[in-house]
Structure 1
Amino acid sequence: MSAPAGGWTTATVAGVRRPIARSVELRLDVHDRVDHLPGQHYVVRLTAEDGYTAQRSYSVASPPGDPLVELFVERLDDGEVSTYLADVVEPGDELEVRGPIGGWFVWDGVTPALLVGGGSGVVPLVAMVRHARDIGRLDLLRVAVSARTLAALPYADELAEAGAQIVLTREARGIRPASRLGGMDLFPLVEPGQTVFVCGSTGFATTATQLLVELGVPATVIRVEQFGPSALELPKR
């Protein structure tokens, strides 16, 4: 499908929340905003007084119908952009942004989909869940997510309310002991005709994709978005 794209513009920070440790949710009023599709992302660019710039890409958590753009930022100790966004930015500040970006990892709101996310990789999937809720089509989605603990899972309450299968690797949840996401977690969620979206760290995305293929999911319907140390910060002089 054809996805919208936006150029560089400015955004006013309309809201700042810190619902879980070492992270921040930013609500942005993007000037001359181009409406996005669930799954797209924005780039935030910071410029120092000497002209040095650093930029980072963040998935959009808000649905297309939200008047503001919501970004979830995980704070990285050595991250030039994430530490500033998590520690310094306040409502009323202006940021330089570019977006929406991306046309591969987007959900059309019509096709049945299986969403599989790990850690902060759930963020673009939350945008899909919110959009499905807005249009009254949560029935189109099946969701499985994994995190170390429930307290570390972004948007945990919303995902639980949407019926997500939540797997925790460092603590038990209900009668389920701590464990990694496995084929038995995904098997009940796999249905013919789904587009499958997998997002998380490189290791998580690789393992989840392998599990799906072993369950008979055609590789051609699996769309993967992954992140790793090499892509965390993109400095430029």
Structure 2
Amino acid sequence: MREVDRPTPRTVQLRLAVPDRVDHLAGQHYVVRLTAEDGYRAQRSYSVASAPGDPLVELLVERLDDGEVSTFLADVVEPGDELEVRGPLGGFFVWEGERPALLVAGGTGVVPFVSMLRTARELGRLELLRLLVSTRTRAELPYVAELEADGAVVLTTREATGIRPAGRLTGPDLVPLWEPGQDVYVCGSDPFAEAASQLLVGLGVPAATIRLERFGPSG
């Protein structure tokens, strides 16, 4: 473990030096496995936030009060510690830097999209990506300044955003970002992913172009 940061009260950012690592694709994930002294093991998957060109692998973990792995990573891990990781994994929810895409995230579901934005920035192709993030408050959203600098739209459900009142994601929020020919990626909790995908289909987005990644307490 090279670096540990806690950007919000409920998240921890881990930057790992992974020996002999294979460059990941934006949207892939790593599995982190913990082994207790009695041999009990628990593992969870975490999306990569770093771009492939970053010499370190960056993971962003949301602390869940009943999470066996997330509480250890958030409360115990410090620089210099060693973790058992496996990856990069996943081939469905990846962006290879070539096609235009609409990215829709709920809260910390933004993490794989951070990797996509960083990849696009390295390639000089930020115009290919449009990102909307729904979060409870700005203070709870990691990477918020970086996201907005790259043109992301950040909506809040518990506080007003400019002239937009607090509220959940709606179809009209998505309309300005959609263009024919885009691939669509949706990442967030199961309820958010389901609601966002239904909104997109209701607006006429072909269901076959929507890729979903859901997360929950069990990872």
User: Same fold by TM-score, threshold 0.5 exceeded?
Assistant: yes
AA of the residue aligned to 2:163: I
Alignment of 1:75-114 (within 5 A): 75-114=63-102
Q: Name 2:143's counterpart in structure 1.
A: 155
Alignment of 1:45-194 (within 5 A): 45-194=33-182
> May I ask how many residue pairs the two structures share in their alignment?
219
- TM-score, L = length of structure 2: 0.98
Q: Please give the alpha-carbon distance, in whole angstroms, between the structure 1 residues aligned to 2:204 and 2:48.
A: 30
Deviations 1:171-228 (A, max 9, x none): 0122221011111111111111111000000000001001111111101110000012
Q: Please give the alpha-carbon distance, in whole angstroms, between the structure 1 residues aligned to 2:24 and 2:186.
A: 19
Unaligned runs of 5+ in 2: none
Q: Please give the alpha-carbon distance, in whole angstroms, between the structure 2 residues aligned to 1:181 and 1:214.
A: 13
AA of the residue aligned to 1:215: L
Q: Name 1:10's counterpart in structure 2.
A: none
Q: Name 1:7's counterpart in structure 2.
A: none
CA contact (8 A) 1:143 1:163 kept: yes
- Percent identity between matched residues is 71
Note the aligned Cα RMSD (angstroms).
Answer: 0.8
Q: Please give the alpha-carbon distance, in whole angstroms, between the structure 2 residues aligned to 1:215 and 1:159.
A: 25
Q: Please give the alpha-carbon distance, in whole angstroms, between the structure 2 residues aligned to 1:131 and 1:155.
A: 15
- TM-score, L = length of structure 1: 0.91
Q: Name 1:220's counterpart in structure 2.
A: 208
Deviations 1:146-170 (A, max 9, x none): 0000001121111111111111000
Unaligned runs of 5+ in 1: 1-12, 233-237
